[in-house]
Chain A
């Protein structure tokens, strides 16, 4: 080091001349972490190989189509939830949002308003409204997200059940049902197509906008973000709205897939989405992970569930296995993080 006074603080404009920067350069040239990046992929491949050997029907077109639909709905529900978890919070109300959305859609269809576009708008509106409420209570009311969304979990499940009056509402409108089970591309259910589009949107938001970086930063260390002069409240409200919207869409597609909305609609969404996120490798402590990993988690969970059905495993055996997989995945996620701490 010398004591010569050279201008070391040039402006950004001086540093960034048009020909000095390749804007297309990929943002994240992360080094490959074996445990974190390779293991989920290897697990998925192993499951696919195992079930294709054990069950003939597993690789059939019909079954793969079925998997696409199941995975699509779970992915949709997990997209927003992933952002919430990356920010170090949790949204417990996703199942209730799905239930309420399903109930309202089913009711409106039977009232004679069966329009797929309208149904999507209803799902987005319900999800966004509940997400906004969650976010405001969390960020401005300074109530921890766990408690805020625990409250709305009960509140909107109750309203949904009241609308359904405790029973299942069936409908037959093909336009609505095709939202989920139609095949715009042969052998891929539309639910999967919608999920992929939603994935791309959320991925872009998370990785290519400044709010996306703020989400990661809030999960990493909220105080640092505040001291950088950034409003963390807006970030928190925004992610809960996104989470609400993806949960609402998942509820719509679930209802469309079944052709019915009932008291149990969405009841497995919360646990399955958290499981998929954790299995994918997103840390519940926040700051690390992302929707790309959640895709892997969703596929692992769906293939596991579908494959166990194919080989005739009992329902409760499936529950046991799913639980074990979640625990093992969480242990590996923690292990891969510990490696980051040097000292």
Chain B
């Protein structure tokens, strides 16, 4: 690990930024020296993205100072920040899938590639892209292929290669790189590739690395800065710091033993017929021959790497994806056909990405809550007369019970924080008293307080006899909440891990099961049971 130089390259001092009445940054500090990797951590909404946006010229700031190499700067656009020597690797790949790799590589800087006629010098662009990829250690990639055909790992390589290449092109000797960690990761090859690229960057740049994965931060950085609620609450050298300390700084208190409400986890009742039976389903070209039985009140976690088929299994149970073979039974009755039929059979589905699939953000809380139940609970069957008062009453109950912070149930969902919006989405399905509740990444973009509320809720839902299927990339959450964890690898159920309270499996063992070829675990593992 290299050490910080005496003179910091980038020095952020007391930056304040407000959006209307909301003070997103209340005076934050951040410094990074040459050849240094500084980890920036904090919960959702702590202000990590906001400070990156300010430093990279995407957002203006209200007050404070921004100093680069001893000079006060105030970039007004991302391109201006680029000229000053500040570059970003964005959280979600900033590449346009429909364009070729070489068209993406210097996107926004086409003026540097003029042909003699004044048009775009495509040949020069291709050449420069090839050189850039080679320099970044990426070989054997056809620069004319559409970017959409690349694997996530390759995209990330291109993303990083463009930063160093653009810096060279703009004659920036040693850039400052702001590195927003991709949210979807966890595939080992991808992970290794990513850490290698980060390591490579360290040699040529000053890096600010934003991540929510603490082990990774501890492994890769020299120093760590912690944000909480728009303030920088701690600066620590990485050496001598541990996860518990960082967590305490991020959340403001020690994480309780009972964070996932393990004490409320009940043993599964096995002497009753299963609530949900999945019989050798296949689908979406990924999942093959998956079978599963879930008892009333049981929480079953689905684990697996991205693309393993775990999400598809959840979607098949929910009715979003139709299985090509096999069947799903709830309370002994086969459920098939449209999503509407699944809803009618007592299955509820909380999708990932609530803004895209879960909620109508322009519509009010009450309209969102009643959307899935208008046809049978809040409106008359034929004409569909709308029983407005009933829906309001029910919505008011859930707003109070789930602690949704809002002025009124008529407020649009777009005015809510991520955690509160997620609770609205969950309320929409809870009011149907589902027999089977499928949740896909239920705490993505949800702050700790609201997370704990959701964990409480899931325990209560399970206690009421609902079978819960939980799909999550957050392994501690998956382990903490589940009674049992089903591991999906390469489209097949490869293992079932017992996770009863007091006998929870270890995160590392689970990862080893999720990634084929990894060394076998010593933790007790049962082979998948067949339905019969």
Residues of A within 8 A of B (CB): 1-3, 5-12, 15-16, 20-31, 207-214, 216-217, 220-221, 223-231, 287-288, 340-343
Is the Cβ of B263 less than 8 Å from the Cβ of A30?
no
Alpha-carbon gap, A214 to B378, bound state (A): 13
Is the Cβ of B361 less than 8 Å from the Cβ of A230?
no
Is the Cβ of B379 less than 8 Å from the Cβ of A210?
yes
Q: Is residue B453 contacting chain A, with contact meaning CB distance below 8 A?
A: yes
Which of the 9-residue segments B109-117, B299-307, B367-375, B478-486 touches chain A? B367-375
Alpha-carbon gap, A225 to B356, bound state (A): 11
Alpha-carbon gap, A10 to B431, bound state (A): 7
Consensus secondary structure, chain B interface: helix
What residues on B are CB-neighbors of A15 within 8 Å? 393-394, 397
Alpha-carbon gap, A224 to B467, bound state (A): 23
Is the Cβ of A3 less than 8 Å from the Cβ of B356?
no
Q: Is residue B349 contacting chain A, with contact meaning CB distance below 8 A?
A: yes
B18 to chain A, nearest CB (A): 12
Q: Is residue B385 contacting chain A, with contact meaning CB distance below 8 A?
A: yes
Supplied contacts A8-B460, A24-B389, 13 more A-B pairs, CB within 8 Å? A6-B460, A8-B457, A9-B431, A12-B390, A23-B389, A208-B388, A210-B386, A220-B360, A227-B320, A227-B358, A229-B344, A230-B372, A343-B22
Which of the 9-residue segments B119-127, B237-245, B409-417, B519-527 touches chain A? B409-417
In chain B, what residue has the closest Cβ to A288? B362
Q: A12-B390, A341-B414 known; A210 and B374 CB under 8 Å?
A: yes
What residues on A are CB-neighbors of B356 within 8 Å? 221, 223
Residue B410 contacts which of A9, A16, A28 (CB distance < 8 angstroms)? A28
Would you give 20 A-B contacts (Cβ < 8 Å), ordered by A?
A1-B403, A2-B456, A3-B264, A3-B459, A5-B459, A5-B460, A7-B464, A8-B461, A20-B393, A21-B392, A25-B388, A26-B388, A28-B410, A210-B378, A211-B384, A213-B370, A216-B363, A224-B359, A228-B428, A230-B375
Q: Is residue B343 contacting chain A, with contact meaning CB distance below 8 A?
A: yes
What residues on A are CB-neighbors of B19 within 8 Å? 342-343
Is the Cβ of B362 less than 8 Å from the Cβ of A340?
yes
In chain A, what residue has the closest Cβ to B359? A224
A175 to chain B, nearest CB (A): 33
B364 to chain A, nearest CB (A): 8
Alpha-carbon gap, A30 to B362, bound state (A): 13
Is the Cβ of A1 less than 8 Å from the Cβ of B361?
no
Q: Mark B438-456, 1 if CB is under 8 A from A, else 0.
A: 0000000000000011001
Q: A227-B339, A340-B362, A342-B415 known; A209 and B379 CB under 8 Å?
A: yes
Residue A12 contacts which of B339, B371, B431 (CB distance < 8 angstroms)? B431
Is the Cβ of A229 less than 8 Å from the Cβ of B351?
no
Is the Cβ of B360 less than 8 Å from the Cβ of A231?
no
Q: A221-B359, A229-B339 known; A209 and B431 CB under 8 Å?
A: no
Is the Cβ of A27 less than 8 Å from the Cβ of B362?
no
* Residue among A8, A20, A30 having the largest count of chain B Cβ atoms under 10 Å: A8
In chain B, what residue has the closest Cβ to A9? B430
A21 to chain B, nearest CB (A): 4
A5 to chain B, nearest CB (A): 5
Alpha-carbon gap, A6 to B19, bound state (A): 39
Residue A342 contacts which of B344, B374, B414 (CB distance < 8 angstroms)? B414
What residues on A are CB-neighbors of B342 within 8 Å? 229
Q: Is residue B463 contacting chain A, with contact meaning CB distance below 8 A?
A: yes
* Residue among A23, A226, A227 having the largest count of chain B Cβ atoms under 10 Å: A227
Q: Is residue B261 contacting chain A, with contact meaning CB distance below 8 A?
A: yes
Alpha-carbon gap, A20 to B389, bound state (A): 9
Q: A1-B452, A3-B258 known; A217 and B359 CB under 8 Å?
A: no
B386 to chain A, nearest CB (A): 5
Is the Cβ of B20 less than 8 Å from the Cβ of A342?
yes
In chain B, what residue has the closest Cβ to A226? B339
What residues on B are CB-neighbors of A221 within 8 Å? 356, 359-362
Q: A209-B379, A211-B384, A343-B19 known; A217 and B371 CB under 8 Å?
A: yes
Q: Is residue B512 contacting chain A, with contact meaning CB distance below 8 A?
A: no
A38 to chain B, nearest CB (A): 18
What residues on B are CB-neighbors of A6 within 8 Å? 460
Q: Is residue B383 contacting chain A, with contact meaning CB distance below 8 A?
A: yes
In chain A, what residue has the closest Cβ to B375? A210
Q: Is residue B387 contacting chain A, with contact meaning CB distance below 8 A?
A: yes
Is the Cβ of A287 less than 8 Å from the Cβ of B393?
no
What residues on B are CB-neighbors of A340 within 8 Å? 362, 412, 414-415
Q: Is residue B338 contacting chain A, with contact meaning CB distance below 8 A?
A: yes
**Which residues of B131-167 have CB atoms within 8 Å of chain A's CB atoms?**
none
What residues on A are CB-neighbors of B494 within 8 Å? none
Q: A22-B389, A211-B384, A228-B372 known; A12 and B377 CB under 8 Å?
A: yes
Pairs A-B, 7 closest by C-beta atoms:
A229-B343, A220-B360, A210-B374, A228-B372, A229-B340, A210-B379, A210-B384
Is the Cβ of A3 less than 8 Å from the Cβ of B456?
yes
**Which residues of B2-59 have CB atoms within 8 Å of chain A's CB atoms?**
19-20, 22
In chain B, what residue has the closest Cβ to A17? B393
What residues on B are CB-neighbors of A220 within 8 Å? 360-363
Is the Cβ of A224 less than 8 Å from the Cβ of B371?
yes
What residues on B are CB-neighbors of A209 within 8 Å? 379, 383-386
In chain B, what residue has the closest Cβ to A217? B360
Is the Cβ of A23 less than 8 Å from the Cβ of B378?
no
In chain A, what residue has the closest Cβ to B261? A3
Alpha-carbon gap, A86 to B344, bound state (A): 28
In chain B, what residue has the closest Cβ to A212? B386
Q: Is residue B357 contacting chain A, with contact meaning CB distance below 8 A?
A: yes
A169 to chain B, nearest CB (A): 40
What residues on B are CB-neighbors of A16 within 8 Å? 389-390, 393-394
What residues on B are CB-neighbors of A223 within 8 Å? 356-357
Q: Is residue B401 contacting chain A, with contact meaning CB distance below 8 A?
A: yes
A139 to chain B, nearest CB (A): 15
**Which residues of B402-431 have CB atoms within 8 Å of chain A's CB atoms?**
402-403, 408, 410, 412, 414-415, 428, 430-431
What residues on B are CB-neighbors of A228 within 8 Å? 343, 371-372, 428
Is the Cβ of A213 less than 8 Å from the Cβ of B386?
yes
A219 to chain B, nearest CB (A): 8
Alpha-carbon gap, A26 to B20, bound state (A): 31
Q: Is residue B93 contacting chain A, with contact meaning CB distance below 8 A?
A: no
B202 to chain A, nearest CB (A): 32
Q: A3-B258, A15-B393 known; A229 and B362 CB under 8 Å?
A: no
Is the Cβ of B386 less than 8 Å from the Cβ of A227?
no
What residues on A are CB-neighbors of B385 within 8 Å? 208-209
Alpha-carbon gap, A225 to B340, bound state (A): 11
Is the Cβ of B359 less than 8 Å from the Cβ of A225?
no
B337 to chain A, nearest CB (A): 11
Alpha-carbon gap, A29 to B460, bound state (A): 33
Q: Is residue B79 contacting chain A, with contact meaning CB distance below 8 A?
A: no
Is the Cβ of A21 less than 8 Å from the Cβ of B390?
yes
Is the Cβ of A25 less than 8 Å from the Cβ of B384?
no
Alpha-carbon gap, A12 to B431, bound state (A): 7
In chain A, what residue has the closest Cβ to B22? A342
In chain B, what residue has the closest Cβ to A30? B410
B229 to chain A, nearest CB (A): 15
What residues on A are CB-neighbors of B453 within 8 Å? 1
Q: Is residue B77 contacting chain A, with contact meaning CB distance below 8 A?
A: no
Alpha-carbon gap, A212 to B367, bound state (A): 11
